[in-house]
Each structure stands twice: as C-alpha cells, then as structure tokens.
Amino acid sequence: MTKQERLKKQQERLKEMKARETELHRQGYVNIAGVDEVGRGPLAGPVVAAAVVLPEDFDVLGIDDSKKLSEKRREELFDVILEKAVAWGIGMADHSTIDEINILQATKLAMKDAIADLSGKLEGIDYVIFDAVKINDLKLPQEAVIKGDSKILAVAAASIVAKVTRDRMMVAYAEEYPGYGFEKNKGYGTKQHYEGIARQGICPIHRKTFLKNVL
C-alpha cells in the first residue's frame, strides 16, 4: 500500500468513526461526550474512565480503540486529544471500591465521575455515548454502542485517555509496590505478577475479590 493509499484509508476511517456524532450534531446536539473505561480485568489498581467531547472539525487521523494501538502511539494521541478536545474528564474507582460494590458497579461509578468532571468544564453535556454500558440513572440522553471504542470517534478518544491515565498510575504504583511487575503488566494477571504474589503476598492495591483462589 502506498503512502497516499494509506492516507486515504485513514481519512475514510475517520469519516466512518465520526458518522454517528455528525448525525447527532445535525439533530441539534452540541456537546456529545464519548465515555469509555479501562481496567475491569486486572488483579490490582483502579478502574479508570474518561469522558471526552471532541470539536466537530476534529481531524486527527489514527484514533482507534486503545487496545489496537501501540503504547507509543497512545501516548502521542493522548497529548493531541487533550490539546484539541472541547473538554475532557476523568473518573475512577479504586481497588477497595471494586471489592465493596463489584467491578460492574465500580465501572459505572467511574463513568459517572468522569461525566461529572467533564460537566464542570462545559456549559452542559447534550448527549452521551458509552462503550457497551448504559447508566440508567444518568439524566442525559444516552446510548450504549457495542465495541463503541472502535466505532465512535469520541469513545475511541476516551479509551485512549483512560488507558494512558491508568497505565501511568500503574507505573507509579510499581515504584511504591515493587516485585509485581506493575510497570509492565499494569496489574493484569501475568506470570510475573502471580510469582510476585506467591513470593511476597498481596499489596494494598490488590483487589481481594479477584484473588479469592490465590489467597
């Protein structure tokens, strides 16, 4: 594929991912927030959510589901998204909250907090698009899109912001709690992580309800 063909493909992909937001803008919605979370599966650390409103003329190529991007590319796009976004917000639920109310409810709580953080930076949110999850007590027009992080531009942007934010937290935790490989596995259950638990027990940011079979 030539450079020109690759560029054309990226432009078509951008247009495709903007389609739903473009339609909503035509219906009169102005501030359309994409919301996504990361960290539902790890054994340690928080679940982190981001809410992002992009301008209608946002034209940055390469935005996609954060899981499909390299760490270097996520870091690059993170800076661009924060620079060009109309506004963005972060919410999180820590390990103890996850243990207390379960991961699904903690995820919804993190998403609500991200929306609240975003709301404080805008005159108002007009519409919210979630990746898969729906929050019934949210008093805003909303929809849940399965695999929204690879279909809806603002949701994909939110997935990148949430992922980079959480990854940086886990790298910092690696210095505080060495021996588990948090800087590499980000709290997921890798061989190195399980070996660390076997060797030195759990640390304060481990999710005890995720480790019932290990403890």
The two counts, helices (H) then strands (E), for the chain are 7, 5
Question: Is the torsion defined by CA of 121, 127, 132, 133 positive or negative?
Answer: positive
Domain for residue 202, yes or no? no
pTM for the whole thing? 0.96
Domain of 133 in residue numbering reads as: 3-166
Q: Given pLDDT bands bounded at 50, 70 and 90, which one contains residue 215?
A: low
Domain for residue 214, yes or no? no
Q: Given pLDDT bands bounded at 50, 70 and 90, which one contains residue 164?
A: very high
Domain for residue 122, yes or no? yes
Q: What CATH number is given to the structural domain containing 128? A: 3.30.420.10
Total number of domains constituting the chain: 1
Instruction: Look over the chain and give the mean of its residue pLDDT values, rounded to a whole number.
Output: 96
Q: Given pLDDT bands bounded at 50, 70 and 90, which one contains residue 214?
A: low
The side-by-side arrangement of strands in the sheet containing 142-145 is: 87-93, 47-53, 32-38, 127-131, 142-145
Domain for residue 88, yes or no? yes
Domain for residue 185, yes or no? no
| Joined tokens for residue 212 | 């019932």
